[in-house]
């Protein structure tokens, strides 16, 4: 009986450790901005990436320009996807405050 209990406990432990937790939780609006800006640029006038994640699952993304695209965001483990009408952007979640675009390598962060 003890070995069965121990086996079940071990199985549950392995199962729970295999579950990935999302690296970012969006309980409030989160605003990410491109981290390594070129020198002598003001973020509002440069071709800078912005990403706003909202708790209702919507996202606003400005991928280097002045047009904001509305879409939906989805977070699974360390992957963040933002899907607009015609494009899907994928980001690796580096930490709770930093993400990296998979295609261009642009790092965005939440200024603290």
What pTM, to 2 d.p., does this model score?
0.75
Asked if residues 36 and 50 have their Cβ atoms less than 8 Å apart, the reply is no
CATH number at residue 79: 2.40.128.290
pLDDT, residue 27, reads 95
In a domain, 16, yes or no: no
In a domain, 8, yes or no: no
pLDDT along the chain (112 residues), means of 10: 54 48 89 81 69 98 92 97 96 96 95 74
| Cα end-to-end distance, the chain, whole Å | 54
In a domain, 5, yes or no: no
**30 HSE (CA, 13 A, CB side):** 18
Q: Could you list the residue range(s) of the whole structural domain that residue 91 is in?
A: 21-109
In a domain, 9, yes or no: no
């Amino acid at each position: 009986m003890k070995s069965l209990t121990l086996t079940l406990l071990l199985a549950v432990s392995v199962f729970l450790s295999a579950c990935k937790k999302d690296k970012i939780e969006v309980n409030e609006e989160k605003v990410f901005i491109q981290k390594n800006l070129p020198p002598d640029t003001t973020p509002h006038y440069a071709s800078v990436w912005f990403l706003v994640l909202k708790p209702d699952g919507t996202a606003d993304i400005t991928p280097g320009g002045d047009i904001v695209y509305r879409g939906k965001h989805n977070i699974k483990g360390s992957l963040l996807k933002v899907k607009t009408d015609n494009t899907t952007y994928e980001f690796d979640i580096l930490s709770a405050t930093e993400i990296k675009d998979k295609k261009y390598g642009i790092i965005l962060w939440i200024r603290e």
